Amino acid sequence: MQEFSLEITKWLTIARIRGISHPNLLLWGQLCVDRDLESSIEYLKELYNRSTNNKKTLKIPSKHEVESEYEKTIAHGAKFVHFGQQGYPELLQECPMPPILMTIKGDLSLLGKKCFSIIGSRSPSLNSINLTHDIASKISMAGFVVVAGLAYGIDAQAHRSSLQHAGTIGVIGSGINRVYPLENTDLYRKMESHNGLVISEFAYDEPPMPHHFPQRNRIIAGLSCGILLIEGKKNSGSMITIRYADSFNREIYVVPGFPGDVRYEGNNYLLKKQIGKLIDCAEDILNDMEGANPQLYTVREKKVRIKEQNFSGTHSSLSPEQIAEFKEDIFNKISATPISIEQISLFLGIPISIVKISILELEISGKVSLDYGGMVFRVLEY
């Protein structure tokens, strides 16, 4: 059984704070890796009080609430994995907005293996179901853990076809104890008990909500070095996952579809825009991925890291006045067109930790907005 340690208390408390946007919470959590819980909370309160135009009340969960969720989670047979912890998936941690806390149930060792995501429609054609089975089976037999979203259709087939080989990971849009859709209950149970893993970023007993699924899609993209779209409409959730995968520098593979078939509208759009490689079998993917080094898929710029290492101070050693100067420079370079935190750091020559703390304050003040891809843009006032 996982012990109720100070680290678990810290990250569970941080993950359940309300009153700031979730992307901002994730950003703040990254800045608290080397802090204890008390100093982390005081740090956030200081930032919150320093910012202007706060429209929400900061709500920090009580010790009782944190202990209650821990006890329910452990009783359910699940565990917690937090940002910065040994065993946290390396590729996922390199993403701009990785989960600061995940609840997991099943085979934890799968997090340390090479992963490949398969996504697609909840109501696919029979041909797509058969193709998913063939590709997922062969990809898994080649040693890749198959990642999907435990939804109807393509997701469920990808999980079933890989469960008996290298294993499979399902990322869900609800609390770890909530099976959704209910028709996948048997699949959930099989994955939790043998050669599978279920991951949730949400609180215990949290119901599935529409806005949860785009949030969980970034985890599906972030865990894997490659992703395959079997079948998807242009405005589908699968296309959100592809956008994340593209911004994370992942390999993207696409099955072509008949031009008049709306179910392949997203596939054909991606191929037309030259986003992704056309494939029609597992061998195409395996040949392309052969010898691929996971380090190639990092989304962090090495220049940013070098700049950070060579900087003599950090966000914690700077005065509010010094941070205010950086913040003004940063805000002046942000427009309504999204730009990444890394790009801001490189362009201004400011360490990424300083950029993050400045974005955090600007977002709390309502001047900028941050998304799950780590892109920031100015909030226009009318």
Q: 49 or 195: which carries more pLDDT confidence? A: 195
- For 128-165, letters b (16+ CB in 10 Å) and e give bbebbeebbbbbbebebbbbbbbbebbbbbbbbbbbeb
Query: Rounded to an integer, what distance in angstroms lies between the CA atom of residue 296 and that of residue 351?
Result: 23
Q: Is the pLDDT of residue 317 over 60?
A: no
Domain 302-378 has CATH 1.10.10.10: yes
C-beta separation of 253 from 280 below 8 A:
no
Query: Rounded to an integer, what distance in angstroms lies between the CA atom of residue 352 and that of residue 345?
Result: 5
Structure tokens at 269: 């759009």
The topology under which CATH files domain 91-297 is Rossmann fold (3.40.50)
Helical segments of the chain, H only: 6-15, 22-30, 37-50, 63-75, 90-93, 126-141, 154-162, 185-193, 212-223, 237-247, 265-272, 282-289, 302-310, 320-332, 341-348, 352-364
pLDDT given for residue 30 in this prediction: 87
Q: What percent of the chain has pLDDT over 90?
A: 73
Q: What is the pTM of this model?
A: 0.90
Length of the chain: 382
pLDDT given for residue 129 in this prediction: 98
Q: Is residue 207 classed as helix, strand or coil in its secondary structure?
A: coil
User: For residue range 8-46, what is the model confidence (pLDDT) as tens digits?
Assistant: 999 999 999 998 889 989 988 888 888 899 998 998 888
How would residue 366 be classed by pLDDT, with cut points 50, 70 and 90? confident
pLDDT given for residue 132 in this prediction: 98
Q: What is the mean pLDDT of residues 84-88?
A: 90
pLDDT given for residue 157 in this prediction: 98
User: For residue range 273-293, what is the model confidence (pLDDT) as tens digits?
Assistant: 999 999 999 999 999 988 555
pLDDT given for residue 301 in this prediction: 41
pLDDT given for residue 52 in this prediction: 61
Q: Is the pLDDT of residue 308 over 50?
A: no
Structure tokens at 132: 């998913």
Domain range annotation of the chain: 6-77, 91-297, 302-378
How would residue 47 be classed by pLDDT, with cut points 50, 70 and 90? confident
User: For residue range 200-228, what is the model confidence (pLDDT) as tens digits?
Assistant: 999 999 999 999 999 999 999 999 999 99
**DSSP character for 42?**
H
Tokens 């946007």, residue?
21
Q: Is the pLDDT of residue 309 over 80?
A: no
How would residue 107 be classed by pLDDT, with cut points 50, 70 and 90? very high
Q: Is the pLDDT of residue 235 over 90?
A: yes
Sign of the dihedral through C-alpha 119, 125, 131, 137: positive
User: For residue range 237-251, what is the model confidence (pLDDT) as tens digits?
Assistant: 999 999 999 999 999
pLDDT given for residue 76 in this prediction: 97
Q: Is the pLDDT of residue 135 over 50?
A: yes
How would residue 295 be classed by pLDDT, with cut points 50, 70 and 90? very low
Cis peptide bond prior to 351, omega within 30° of 0:
no
